[in-house]
Amino acid sequence: MNRAFCILLVLGAACRSEDKPAPAPTPPPQPTPAPPVVTIDRDALLAGKLPDGAPETEIVNAQCRICHSVEYLTQQRLGEGAWKKTIDKMRKFGANLSDEQAASLVAFAAKYWNADLPGRTWSPGPPPAGALPAAPK
């Protein structure tokens, strides 16, 4: 009887191991795609342009420009801390940004519109007719 019990025990164990499927091999991790290379020249930044191809440009166009023009961003020359306060304030005013988007915008703005970029220059045009007093005769 001991022998019969041992045979049943071995057969039962063998059946159970066949019931469990072998674990599927784990696929190798996919490499994280590199962020797009974004270039913009200094003159374009000074002219108030946004870098083409940057994911943050899409966020600016979708969220920030709902309420105001892009010049509100491009005329500023702030450090990272001041940009964070500004973007946090915009979120309080209703900008629909996730924490990740807000952090990305802070880094984006601090990279392009900081104290190292000189202020925008304006070329005054001629005054409109009649704006200046007539020259004495």
**Residue 78 confidence (pLDDT):** 93
Q: What is the mean pLDDT of residues 108-113?
A: 92
- Dihedral (Cα; 64, 67, 72, 78), 10-degree rounding: -50
pTM (2 decimals)?
Answer: 0.62
- List, in order of start, the domains of the chain with CATH numbers: 42-112 (1.10.760.10)
pLDDT band at 80 (very low <50, low <70, confident <90, very high): very high
Nearest to 73 by CA among 121, 123, 124, 120: 120
Is the pLDDT at 29 greater than 90, yes or no? Answer: no
Is the pLDDT at 135 greater than 90, yes or no? Answer: no
**Residue 12 confidence (pLDDT):** 62
Is the pLDDT at 89 greater than 70, yes or no? Answer: yes
**Residue 52 confidence (pLDDT):** 87
